[in-house]
Every structure is written in structure tokens, then in C-alpha cells.
Amino acid sequence: MTTRNKVSIGDLAPDFTLPDQWGKPVRLRDVLGEKTVVLYFYPKDETPGCTIEARAFRDSYEQFSAKDAQVVGVSSDSVRSHRRFAQRHNLPFLLLSDRDGAVRRLYGVEKTLGLLPGRVTYVIDQTGVVRHVYSSQLRATRHPREALTVLSALRGDRS
């Protein structure tokens, strides 16, 4: 996997395979064949902002499921760290371990202030096209709300 420009709306989402919190390899294309994917990159397990964000995705999980969407979190934490994080906070979705940051680079997720791994959420439709990108390091709880709004629009739901 090589570094590329930022993935933007209308781009085909780059495919990748990473281990989930149980060590099982998960390929993006396989998940996309079944559902729309809400792929969110976050800095680190158990940090305040990331915990708030993960809980917000958890608390909205039934709404994502009702819109036929799969939430997938990605950070450079280990499989073991992801497993503990998911268990401690009852997270019902996949957490993928991008240990060397290759997938983060593949998507062009920039660091905040050159230090912190970025916090970016992508909504990817079942054909693999990126339909929405939301980037905000500080507004962690807005990521799930943004994604749900986009999913509703894609489905033609009345809010």
C-alpha cells in the first residue's frame, strides 16, 4: 500500500484488509458487498475524545443497522487493545488494527497539528463509492450524526 492523495467524495474507496478486534482479517470489499460502510479513522483507544466518539457510534448503532450500514473503526492500536476497548465500552461494531498506518496513509488521513492521527469518517456506498467525508478532530460526537444524516439522504428517508 502506498501513500496517495486524500480520498474524496466520488472516489472509489481503496480496498484493504486489516485484522479486527478478534484477529480475523476483514476486507473492505467483502463488507461493502453486503452493506453501506461507515468507515471512521480515530487516533487512539481509551483516549477521551475517541471513547466519546466510539460510544456515540455505539449509542446510534441500531439506527445505522436500520439504514443497512456497517460501522467500522480504524486506528493503529493493536488487536488486543481493540478487543479490550470494544469489550469495556460494549462496542457492537468492528475495530480494525492498522498497526503501521498504511490504510490511514492510503486514505490520505492527515495528522492534526502534525502530531495527532486524524479523525475522519467516510460513508461508502455498496458499490464502493465514497459518498461523504467528514473530518473534525474536536467534534468527535458529530461523526455519527453526520453519517446518519448522509445515510438518510442516500436512502431517501424523511427525517
CA–CA distance from 2 to each of 32, 95, 107, 124, 133 (Å)?
Answer: 22, 22, 10, 21, 21
Alpha helices, DSSP H only, in the chain?
A: 28-32, 48-59, 61-66, 79-88, 102-106, 142-155
Q: Which residue has the cell 446510534?
A: 60
Annotated active-site residue 36? The verdict is no
Question: 5 burial class (0-12, 13-18, 19+ CB within 10 angstroms)?
Answer: exposed
Candidates 7, 26, 32, 50; catalytic one: 50
Q: β-strands 94-97, 69-75: how paired?
A: parallel
* Cβ atoms 4, 97 nearer than 8 A: no
- Active-site annotation, residues: 50
